[in-house]
Amino acid sequence: GVFGGDYLMPLDEMTKVPELRDEIRRLEARQSLHRALDCMEKLPHKECLVLKFLFSDGLSVPEIASKMQEEENNIYQIRHKGVKHLKDLLRQIEGEQR
């Protein structure tokens, strides 16, 4: 091979090399983020919107309530349902990949 042989280092060996371990963690985090964003699009509109405002835009619950013209308690409920649905969707995807 181009790099002095056909030897490929097993993934568990790669994670013992600090520079590779950090890069692998970054890649895994990026993949997890993309999976979560894909799943968010499958949520009911209000749940998706609330989670986007919270996690992407960094808005507080009172700010979201004002923006959406909803009661704060409703935003907390929508957030709770959205997080639960998102977790369920992510678990479902992980189960399909195994």
Whether 6 is in a domain gets the answer no
What domain count does the chain have? 1
Please provide the DSSP assignment of 33-93 as one string. Answer: HHHHHHHHTTS-HHHHHHHIIIIIS---HHHHHHHHT--HHHHHHHHHHHHHHHHHHHHHH
Whether 3 is in a domain gets the answer no
pLDDT interval class at 4 (50, 70, 90): low
Whether 5 is in a domain gets the answer no
Q: What is the CATH number of the domain that holds 18?
A: 1.10.10.10
Report pLDDT for 2: 47
pLDDT at 5 exceeding the cut of 80: no
Number of other residues whose CB lies within 10 A of the CB of residue 62: 10
- Whole-model pTM: value is 0.66
Whether 83 is in a domain gets the answer yes
Whether 4 is in a domain gets the answer no
Q: Domain of 86?
A: 11-97
